[in-house]
Amino acid sequence: MNTKKIASPHSKSIDEIIQTFSVDTTHGLTTEQVTANQQQYGKNIIVHKKKVSQLVIFLQQFNQPLVYILLLAGVITAILGEWVDSSVIMGVVLVNAIIGYVQESKAIKAIESLSKSVESFATVVRNSTRQVISSSEVTIGDVVLLQSGDKIPADVRFVEVKELQVEESALTGESVPVQKSTVALDEHSVLGERTNMGFSGTYVTYGIGRAIVTSIGNDTEIGKINTMISEADILQTPLTKQIQQFSAFLLYIILGLAAVTVVVGLIRGETFVEMFMAAVALSVGAIPEGLPAAVTITLAIGVSKMAKRNAIVRKLPAVETLGSVTVICSDKTGTLTQNQMTVEKIFAAKIEYDVTGSGYAPNGTIKVDNRKVTDVNENFSLKNTLLAGTLCSTARVVEKEGMWAVEGDPTEGALLVSSKKGGFDVDTAIHQYPLIDSIPFESEYQYMATLHKNTTENTNIIFIKGSVESIVDRCSYSSSIHNESIDPSEQLLYTKANEYALQGLRVLAFAMKVVPAEKTEITHEDLVDDLVFLGLQAMIDPPRDEAIESVARCQRAGITVKMITGDHVKTAVSIAKKLGIVDTIEDDSLVLNGKEITKLTDEELVHVVQKISVFARVSPEDKLRLVKAIQENNNVVAMTGDGVNDAPSLRQANIGIAMGLTGTDLAKETADMLLTDDNFFTIQAAVEEGRGVYDNLIKFIAWTLPTNFGEGLVLIFAIILGVTLPILPVQILWINMTTAVLMGLMLAFEPKEPGVMDRKPRDPKLPILTKQLIGRIVIVSMMLCIASFVYFFVAYHYGRTVEEARTLAVNIFVMGELFYLFNCRSLDVSMFKLGLFTNIPLWIGVGAMTILQLLFTYLPWMNKAFHSAPITGLDWLIITGIGVVIYIVIELEKKIRAKLS
């Protein structure tokens, strides 16, 4: 029988909800119910009904200031009967629009596919088994388990809650997390007052809960909103804003020069038609038509390269901002380390045990004095330390395709593995000590506690695990080998914890408390005192080999790496030393802990963070303050994080980087970039790619502007001197579009230069073009202008037809651009240092451009369309020589500038 939907589920009692959905909250839906409901209601996905049509996307490509000039020129030339010129101008506009349309369509598809790749998951109970499934597979009637950090997968009605709070600001505008309950409410309660409901897309910030799904997909509250809004976002980067400002400035300059051109010509007695055509030529010559497409394609290539290196860019500005990062604040676990936690030491009843084996595979033993422990029951404290690690956990260790992995927290996974090495069967332990109640881990308390029924005795037991500081102070006794209550020896425990921390080990303490069988729930008040200390387990998450090199590369690139962690101070410093973040372990002045941070004012913290590279035992508030303080020192900050607690600092950072594997949904949604492998090496690789993307954009701009300025100068000189135009508008369009597409865009494929990570980060406040580049652009513009102008008039004066002379001028521009293209492969060094054939697409583009230019010169129908004419072999020799001269001059300029710098 199919499950029925229910109207106003917030007004129904829990019994009504359970009866309506035919579900047991303990056992969940059966496989048959799941199949029937999914067939009836479909998948839990939002279908976006309203999108911008493809026609509108296409028409939007014409909504650019520079395109307005071309459209106006095309219309007026058509009115004047210049059909060939008008057709070519309109053709250029159309080609630009098609390129923009294709790229924007790809971008929208990429964003949609990204939303699919960043898939969220939900924990449900089906067939009496707890399962982690894709949120899209959640269906009506599913029993969902929720805890701090989870994204609610659908609209749900809560049936059990434990101090549950949900962040609903995205849906209701409520800035404070909402405390949830299970009490039925008035049917007419507004959305923000439905405290017994959880809504799709909102986040659990505190506590735990159990709920039944009442609506999925477009029927959810967030789904209803999504059907009314457009999916696509307009993403603008700082660079594209600068380019827009540059385009607007260029527009005014072009219109001003065009107006002056017409006035000067009319004063000299020229006809309006001739002067208008000259103004059109000037306008189309000065417009860098290929610039918008080049920016889009270069950024798209950069995003693609980052994706291949395990960095998914969610917000496009991250591509550029990455190139100017000066400080990376990184979490330790899983990012700088392997995220393969392994227990190496156990300290119980004042006896130290070694644990062999590594990773999550349960292969290894527990030893004392090099002797294998065959029966952990010989030591009451050891047995219960392992038992506490087994029961006080929400993780599972599973084998998938021959590989052992943890479903849940890696630390808890390591504890389960150490228990298995001690001979514990996890399923047997869970059956013998069934869970009654729990307090999930919260950073505020630094511990997790669970209440269990002891089936062999008429009592219940509380097991608690957490930081040494949070557990030891709550213990009144310590257990011995034979279950005798002895003094907890706090000093010994702290000494041993510090000893382990100096070895880079993470230390967790374990305790227990026997309570009456009648006790069925626990609170923080139950854990204030009278706990019995059991033991310590010390584990290590070793540094990634590649992270050590990546930290060094970042430091060489002028990027400071700071570690921000909740771990023990000594542990943090030990790992930082191995990674090269600090030089010595002993110097405590190199690290700042959470208590010290709290005592500092904001002004004091701004000063202190400049000298500190390791921050330990920090709270969410501390992380946010640290990021702000580092930014106050004029730094561009990248921040990594994976938990709900990291969300504020991820949002505050210039680049928020979330962990794709272990990160919570809230962290992923907040971040600008996701690491699909949770590896610090990927951050360094993304910074490297970001610098390469920016470099290639600047190379294209530095390459294309001399052509536009050179063409403009040629036309201005011709108009001022009152002589024949050396280049016609249709020929200028041919030069600009063919060279931009076939040659300029190939710079987007230019590999990163060897020294890209050996230089300081760029200042984002600097203009696109430096004084040196402006000087180079002026040099090339003048050389193209003089060469084409002089050669045109020499040829024309000595009897060559005007078509031949103009063909010479056009080819000088093309050949000059071709050789200058090789200059622009690097703005500082020769292409020979880069390698002649390290950019194969560029050579393909040069070859294609050469063929097209030969067709332009010799193909009859192209001669007619573009007013060109065949030229001689000697002409080609001279034209090539001019290109070589331009190349040599710019290479000399590079060397002179290098010597002077």
Residue 604 has pLDDT above 90, yes or no: yes
Cβ atoms of residues 679 and 544 within 8 Å: yes
Alpha-carbon distance of 140 to 155, in angstroms, equals 9
Assigned token pair, 403: 């590989």
Residue 763 has pLDDT above 80, yes or no: no
The whole-model pTM stands at: 0.64
pLDDT band at 107 (very low <50, low <70, confident <90, very high): very low
pLDDT digits (tens, 9 = 90+) for 530-562: 899 999 999 987 787 788 888 998 999 999 999
- What DSSP string runs through 266-333? HHTT--HHHHHHHHHHHHHHHS-TTHHHHHHHHHHHHHHHHHHTTEEESSTHHHHHGGG--EEEE-ST
What pLDDT score was predicted for residue 232?
A: 29
Contacts 24+ apart (CB under 8 A), 278-282: 278/715, 278/718, 278/719, 278/725, 280/73, 280/76, 280/77, 280/85, 280/89, 280/729, 281/715, 281/725, 281/727, 281/728, 281/729, 281/732, 282/254, 282/257, 282/258, 282/712, 282/715, 282/716, 282/719
Alpha-carbon distance of 169 to 203, in angstroms, equals 10
Alpha-carbon distance of 123 to 210, in angstroms, equals 10
Q: What percent of the chain has pLDDT over 70?
A: 86
In this predicted structure, which of 18-22, 186-190, 342-346 has the lowest mean pLDDT?
A: 186-190
pLDDT band at 178 (very low <50, low <70, confident <90, very high): confident
Separation in Å, CA 894 to CA 654, 743, 750, 773, 817 = 34, 22, 19, 11, 17
- What integer is the mean pLDDT of 798-815? 95
In this predicted structure, which of 280-284, 559-563, 622-626 has the lowest mean pLDDT?
A: 280-284
Strand 178-179, strand 366-368: pairing: unpaired
Alpha-carbon distance of 731 to 866, in angstroms, equals 6
What pLDDT score was predicted for residue 801?
A: 95
Cβ atoms of residues 614 and 582 within 8 Å: yes
- Tell which wins on pLDDT, 429 or 287: 429
What pLDDT score was predicted for residue 893?
A: 94
pLDDT digits (tens, 9 = 90+) for 343-370: 999 999 999 999 998 788 898 999 999 9
Q: Which of 103-112, 201-210, 333-342, 418-427 has the highest mean pLDDT?
A: 418-427
Which letter, b or e, does each residue of 733-752 get, where b requires 16 or more Cβ atoms within 10 Å of its Cβ? Answer: bbbbbbbbbbbbbbbbbbee
Residue 850 has pLDDT above 60, yes or no: yes
Assigned token pair, 495: 């000494």
What pLDDT score was predicted for residue 118?
A: 47
Phi then psi dihedrals of residue 825, to 5 deg: -60, -30
What residue has token string 């990163």? 752
What pLDDT score was predicted for residue 233?
A: 36
**Angle, helix 569-579 to helix 490-502, in steps of 10 degrees:** 10
DSSP conformational letter for 235 = -
Torsion of CA 63, 67, 72, 74, to 10 degrees: -120
**Single-letter code of the amino acid located at 687:** V
Residue 665 has pLDDT above 90, yes or no: no
pLDDT band at 96 (very low <50, low <70, confident <90, very high): low
Active-site residues, by number, are: 331
Assigned token pair, 267: 């004063």
Residue 103 has pLDDT above 60, yes or no: no
pLDDT band at 513 (very low <50, low <70, confident <90, very high): very high
Please give the radius of gyration of the chain, using alpha carbons only, rounded to the nearest integer: 35
In this predicted structure, which of 130-134, 226-230, 859-863 has the lowest mean pLDDT?
A: 226-230
Residue 607 has pLDDT above 60, yes or no: yes
182: left (phi over 0), alpha (psi -120 to 50) or beta: alpha
**Single-letter code of the amino acid located at 720:** I
In this predicted structure, which of 105-114, 283-292, 345-354, 528-537 has the lowest mean pLDDT?
A: 105-114
Which letter, b or e, does each residue of 394-403 get, where b requires 16 or more Cβ atoms within 10 Å of its Cβ? Answer: bbebeeeeee
| Residues linked to residue 29 through DSSP beta bridges, in sequence order | 126
What pLDDT score was predicted for residue 73?
A: 65
Nearest CA to 565 out of 471, 646, 648 is that of: 646
What pLDDT score was predicted for residue 401?
A: 76
Tallying the residues shown for the chain, one arrives at 901
- Tell which wins on pLDDT, 117 or 583: 583
Residue 839 has pLDDT above 70, yes or no: yes
Alpha-carbon distance of 403 to 173, in angstroms, equals 44
pLDDT digits (tens, 9 = 90+) for 364-415: 999 999 999 999 988 999 999 999 999 998 888 888 877 788 887 778 889 9
Residue 64 has pLDDT above 70, yes or no: no
Residue 848 has pLDDT above 80, yes or no: yes
Alpha-carbon distance of 313 to 319, in angstroms, equals 7
Assigned token pair, 771: 């004084």
- Tell which wins on pLDDT, 610 or 256: 610
Alpha-carbon distance of 42 to 34, in angstroms, equals 11
As a whole number, the mean pLDDT across the chain is 84
A 10 A CB-CB count for 367 gives 14
Q: Which of 122-126, 483-487, 637-641, 751-755 has the highest mean pLDDT?
A: 122-126
- Tell which wins on pLDDT, 221 or 783: 783
Nearest CA to 71 out of 89, 57, 98, 84 is that of: 89
Helix H or strand E encompassing 540: strand 531-540
In this predicted structure, which of 18-22, 40-44, 669-673, 713-717 has the lowest mean pLDDT?
A: 669-673
Assigned token pair, 576: 């930082």
pLDDT digits (tens, 9 = 90+) for 446-485: 899 999 999 888 899 999 999 999 999 899 889 888 877 7
Separation in Å, CA 124 to CA 145, 151, 168, 209, 868 = 6, 13, 21, 12, 73
Phi then psi dihedrals of residue 827, to 5 deg: -85, -5
3-state helix, strand, coil in the chain (%, to 5): 50, 20, 30
Alpha-carbon distance of 558 to 580, in angstroms, equals 14
